[in-house]
Chains A and B, each alone.
Chain A
Amino acid sequence: MSAQEPATAASSAAVHLDGISKRYGSVQACADVDLMLQRGRIHGILGENGAGKSTLMKILIGLVLPDAGSIDIDGERVLIRDPLDAARHGIGMVHQHFSLVEPLRVWENVALGEAGALRPAEVRERIVEISDRYGLDVDPDAVVGDLPVGMRQRVEIIKCLRRDPSILVFDEPTSVLTPAESEQLFDTLRHAVVSEGRAVALVSHKLDEIIAATDEVTIMRQGRVVDHVATDQVDASGLAAAMVGRSVSLRSERVALGLVDADVRGTEVPDTEPDLAPEVLRLDGVTVRDRDGRTVLDRLDLGVRAGEIVGVAGVEGNGQRQLADVLSSLTGVDEGRVVVDGDEIPTGKAGAMAAGGVGVIPEDRHDSGVVLEMTVAENLWLVDPGRVSRRNVLDHRTMRRTTEELIDEFEISCSGPDSPLFSLSGGNQQRVVLARELSHEPTVLVAAQPTRGLDVGAIEYMTDRLRRTAESGVGVLLISSELEEILDLAHRIVVISDGRIIGEMDRADADLARIGSLMGGHAA
């Protein structure tokens, strides 16, 4: 694919990043990166995890200082030392992770961080005005904690637009949205760009999104810009090849890149027919209330058969986390019961689920999957140290040998069994979790967002492992907000909304429109 530079002079660019370099230790996060954002255009920045796109954006908004390079805004050389500098130059960013205070109202959240006297009426008025102008439909007096995730993101967008930035950066904005909400977001973006001459950068690793929403796209790989093209002159597979650096053929890889067709009906269905296999996991009327008494899981019923992958689809924040917590013995249930392989397992009791045969790949491995300060070996055996100890004394020889075997089998890249876990990359930490959970021969494996934050190769490995695990007779519960991942892996799909399972279908009957509407909370 040949680079075809859009014919615009650097001087007319809203933002011109020139020769930006940033190095972290031995990792070159950005190497001599050039990027030009034009007014009235949406500029996609595409790359795998770790390609350097987030670093680049952090440099633009002043969170990270570059080692080399310069930034021009509207043809003038500027120095952006911190986010306040960036704000003065009219740069605003909508972050991937929300920074909203849940108990506060929308207008209070929007007013947070403003200097000077608080004028509630003014803030409310401004919110209504922005909301009307962009069709965001946000009520300034709603309590943020009561709002669905899609609406919260709109609040974030209003927070950003309130300062009237001329340059807008969106960092992976759709990871928490339903397909319909994403579409609406891009309509909004388009409106902001075309009618008001703002410059927008859209950071994403999803090809479909880039193709649908952007005018031009810069592709990054390993810290470098590998291509810069007008979006209408490329197709998805060309972009994918440029992003990964080789042609993309494997199915799971295509899924990782978001390349699943919207019409999924009738595509290949995983071969196993586990309908008659025994049920290995059963949740009956599981109800969990949080500390404030809010019901976060609401009479949830769910079953997984041996050898089956059940995908739990849903917009994030609808009870997925609590579901995984119950199955990790981190939360007790208020009502209902959990049965594993025929035995009821007490909930909330330390280690009970693990001992009962429930393996878990947690959503946030740093939260409940690993101990960063401990060694690889200790992390591999911390759930079941009995296997590498004699009379409660750790047998370091056995520990080392078994650890080395697992390091080989799961291709964990580290300097040895004694290296501390924090010295491993995220993908390799995830492999340590996977190795531990699978080596304990679970009856049920819960995988919560198992590929989040991983690069394409690691995603491929993970999905392959999950598939093989199911084939070996383990019941797999896949909790994911990436619909493509669920469509690729699951035999059966259930949709969770508001802590309840509101729909269930076989993979063969699944269609994106129906799942999408279920995810939005509309029972179909």
Chain B
Amino acid sequence: MSVDDGTTTGPPTTRPHDGVAAEDLVPEMGTDGTLTEEPHHAPPGTSMADRLRSVGEVVGLYAVCIAIALGLSALLVQATGGSPSEVLSALLDGSIRGPGRIGATIGVAVPLLLVAIGTIVSNRAGLVNIGQEGQLYIGAAFGAYFGTKLGWSGPGVIVLLLVASVIGGALWAGIAGVLRYRRGVPEVLTTLLLVTIAAQLAGYGLKNQWLLLAPAEGRANRQQISQQLPDDTRLPRVTWFGNEFPISAFIAILLALLVAAVLARTVWGLRIRMLGHNPRTAQRAGVAASRYGGGALLISGAFAGLAGGMMLAGGDFGNYTLVPGFPSQIGWTGLLVALVSRQRASAAIAIALVFAGLRTGSGFLAATGVERRITDVVQGLLVLALLIPPALLFLRERRRAMNSGGDRT
């Protein structure tokens, strides 16, 4: 599950282990032809046996970490009075085994993936945008306004709705961008704080009929929701083997591949990566931080906004209606997807599905008598399990580098 671009110029000699099962999780030369992770691979000139051993170490490390995470999860289930095997079975039923559940999982994976690839763009530019939850909400609110308040309907309005949500998300991230590049305020703070403001704003919109609130007829009194999108202003849904999901799934996958290719193969992508890795070299080479960094921030917001629009028009969230709490943690979880896929848009496709599966699976936990929040803990443990190995490898690598480097005399 990856685009093999950037390496079209020939197989890189430093790629020691094609075909390893956990390949997407193993730090190595990125499939997009750039080094996306801290290097753990053996320095050039070491023997094949050494390399195999180091690959074995990495795979083993992941296996151990994942096993520990699952073991701890099982213990937790046991401690709260549940049966781990029943829980596992329920999770699988809810995410893939039950009829139509794969479709539900895909429906959740779409916005996760969109948020994640936007995050990857800003991460690559060296920016820490953590306000996707808010950008997504604003995007959905913009979309809801154009989808319900203009009184238009039809397929053209779907496009209008999505464009509006893209603009909404970008606008919200753009505020952080202006503060970052005009005033020097760290984007990590502003994007986070803007999440709260986004929720307040959307809430305000849902209280006022001239903004988002649905007309009094057709909703329960004091219910603060938007009007439902008209039937012909919804994303078409396809059915494959009894699994139904919106066509936004294909769009999201295409966008993920597109982002991977753009980052790896275009001048713009080269400059974004340059900026992220070494801003001073980038400045010398003509990459203005405000233009490229600001652009990356806008794009990451745009993707989060698009995720919001797709959620609204796709039907898997809120039943085509903007409701309070509409983002449903998708922004935060998408951030985790980006974190775990570590800057690779193509890897994010698989990771988004895994995280979506945990979420849809948790819906089936009620029958087991186990609190469904337990999956949040499982998810947290899994994230740690997937992030600890690269961190350990990075530390080891750095220790080695510090031991060997610095002979400057």
Q: In residues 8-43 of chain B, which contact A (Cβ within 8 Å)?
A: 8-10, 12-14, 29, 33-35, 39, 43
Q: Which of B132-140, B281-289, B312-320 lies at the interface?
A: B281-289
Residues of the A chain whose Cβ atoms lie less than 8 Å from the Cβ of B207: none
Closest CB in chain A relative to B14 CB, distance in Å: 6
> Is B378 at the interface (CB under 8 A from chain A)?
no
Q: Which of A110-118, A350-358, A484-492, A510-518 lies at the interface?
A: A350-358
Q: Chain A 380-402, CB within 8 Å of chain B: the 1/0 string?
A: 01110110010011101101100
Residues of the A chain whose Cβ atoms lie less than 8 Å from the Cβ of B34: 373-375, 378
Q: Is the CB of B409 within 8 A of A53?
A: yes
Question: When chains A and B are docked, how far (Å) is the Cα of A453 from the Cα of B405?
Answer: 12
Chain A minimum-CB-distance residue to B12: A418
Question: When chains A and B are docked, how far (Å) is the Cα of A420 from the Cα of B34?
Answer: 8
Chain A minimum-CB-distance residue to B264: A394
> Is B45 at the interface (CB under 8 A from chain A)?
yes
Q: Chain B 143-155, CB within 8 Å of chain A: the 1/0 string?
A: 0000000000000
> Is A172 at the interface (CB under 8 A from chain B)?
yes
Q: Is the CB of A418 within 8 A of B403?
A: no
Residues of the B chain whose Cβ atoms lie less than 8 Å from the Cβ of A367: 280-281
Q: Which 5 A-B pairs have the closest CB atoms?
A: A351-B286, A24-B404, A350-B288, A368-B280, A383-B285
- Size category of the A interface is 35 or more
Residues of the B chain whose Cβ atoms lie less than 8 Å from the Cβ of A205: 409
Q: Is the CB of A373 within 8 A of B35?
A: yes
Q: Is the CB of A419 within 8 A of B286?
A: no
Question: When chains A and B are docked, how far (Å) is the Cα of A381 from the Cα of B10?
Answer: 19
Selected contact of A351 from candidates B39, B267, B284, CB within 8 Å: B284
Residues of the A chain whose Cβ atoms lie less than 8 Å from the Cβ of B408: 49, 54, 96, 453
Q: Which of A25-33, A185-193, A261-269, A493-501 lies at the interface?
A: A25-33
> Is B324 at the interface (CB under 8 A from chain A)?
no
Question: When chains A and B are docked, how far (Å) is the Cα of A136 from the Cα of B368?
Answer: 79
Residues of the B chain whose Cβ atoms lie less than 8 Å from the Cβ of A328: 283-284
Q: Is the CB of A383 within 8 A of B39?
A: no
Closest CB in chain B relative to A348 CB, distance in Å: 9
Say yes or no: A171-B285 contact (C-beta < 8 A), given A24-B404, A371-B274, A415-B14.
no
Q: Is the CB of B284 within 8 A of A392?
A: no
Q: Is the CB of B277 within 8 A of A373?
A: yes
Q: Total interface residues on B, using CB and 8 Å? A: 44
Selected contact of B9 from candidates A53, A386, A397, CB within 8 Å: A397
> Is B7 at the interface (CB under 8 A from chain A)?
yes
> Is B268 at the interface (CB under 8 A from chain A)?
yes
Closest CB in chain A relative to B120 CB, distance in Å: 15
Which residues of B line the A interface, CB within 8 A?
A: 6-10, 12-14, 29, 33-35, 39, 43-46, 265-268, 270-271, 273-274, 277-278, 280-289, 400, 403-404, 406-409
Counting chain A CB atoms within 10 Å of each CB, which of B35, B273, B287 scores highest? B35
Selected contact of B44 from candidates A360, A368, A423, CB within 8 Å: A423
Question: When chains A and B are docked, how far (Å) is the Cα of A200 from the Cα of B33?
Answer: 51
Chain A minimum-CB-distance residue to B279: A368
Closest CB in chain A relative to B6 CB, distance in Å: 7
Say yes or no: A394-B277 contact (C-beta < 8 A), given A49-B407, A350-B287.
no
Q: Is the CB of B281 within 8 A of A54?
A: no
Chain A minimum-CB-distance residue to B278: A371
Question: When chains A and B are docked, how far (Å) is the Cα of A47 from the Cα of B271?
Answer: 40
Q: Is the CB of B266 within 8 A of A392?
A: yes
Chain B minimum-CB-distance residue to A420: B35
Q: Is the CB of A385 within 8 A of B270?
A: yes
Closest CB in chain B relative to A92 CB, distance in Å: 18
> Is A50 at the interface (CB under 8 A from chain B)?
yes
Question: When chains A and B are docked, how far (Å) is the Cα of A123 from the Cα of B355?
Answer: 60
Subset of 16 A-B contacts with CB under 8 Å = A24-B404, A27-B404, A53-B409, A203-B409, A204-B409, A349-B288, A350-B282, A360-B284, A371-B273, A373-B34, A394-B270, A415-B14, A415-B44, A418-B7, A420-B35, A423-B14
Q: Is the CB of A375 within 8 A of B14?
A: no
Residues of the B chain whose Cβ atoms lie less than 8 Å from the Cβ of A55: 407
Residues of the A chain whose Cβ atoms lie less than 8 Å from the Cβ of B43: 25-26, 423
> Is A410 at the interface (CB under 8 A from chain B)?
no
Chain B minimum-CB-distance residue to A349: B288
Q: Is the CB of B283 within 8 A of A330?
A: yes
Closest CB in chain A relative to B318 CB, distance in Å: 39
Q: Is the CB of A374 within 8 A of B273?
A: yes
Q: Is the CB of B267 within 8 A of A394?
A: yes
Selected contact of B284 from candidates A27, A368, A393, CB within 8 Å: A368
Question: When chains A and B are docked, how far (Å) is the Cα of A430 from the Cα of B295?
Answer: 32
Chain A minimum-CB-distance residue to B15: A418
Say yes or no: A416-B409 contact (C-beta < 8 A), given A375-B35, A392-B266, A396-B6.
no
Selected contact of A355 from candidates B7, B39, B286, B403, CB within 8 Å: B286
Residues of the B chain whose Cβ atoms lie less than 8 Å from the Cβ of A417: 9
Q: Is the CB of A350 within 8 A of B289?
A: yes
Question: When chains A and B are docked, how far (Å) is the Cα of A144 from the Cα of B273?
Answer: 38
Q: Is the CB of A350 within 8 A of B283?
A: yes
- Supply 11 further A-B pairs (C-beta < 8 A) apart from A96-B408, A329-B286, A389-B266: A24-B403, A29-B407, A203-B409, A350-B283, A367-B281, A368-B284, A373-B34, A386-B267, A389-B267, A396-B265, A400-B10
Question: When chains A and B are docked, how far (Å) is the Cα of A371 from the Cα of B33?
Answer: 15
Question: When chains A and B are docked, how far (Å) is the Cα of A382 from the Cα of B275?
Answer: 11
> Is A13 at the interface (CB under 8 A from chain B)?
no
Question: When chains A and B are docked, how far (Å) is the Cα of A205 from the Cα of B409?
Answer: 7
Q: Is the CB of A393 within 8 A of B267?
A: yes
Question: When chains A and B are docked, how far (Å) is the Cα of A396 from the Cα of B6?
Answer: 7
Closest CB in chain A relative to B109 CB, distance in Å: 29
Q: Is the CB of B267 within 8 A of A354?
A: no
Q: Is the CB of B409 within 8 A of A172?
A: yes
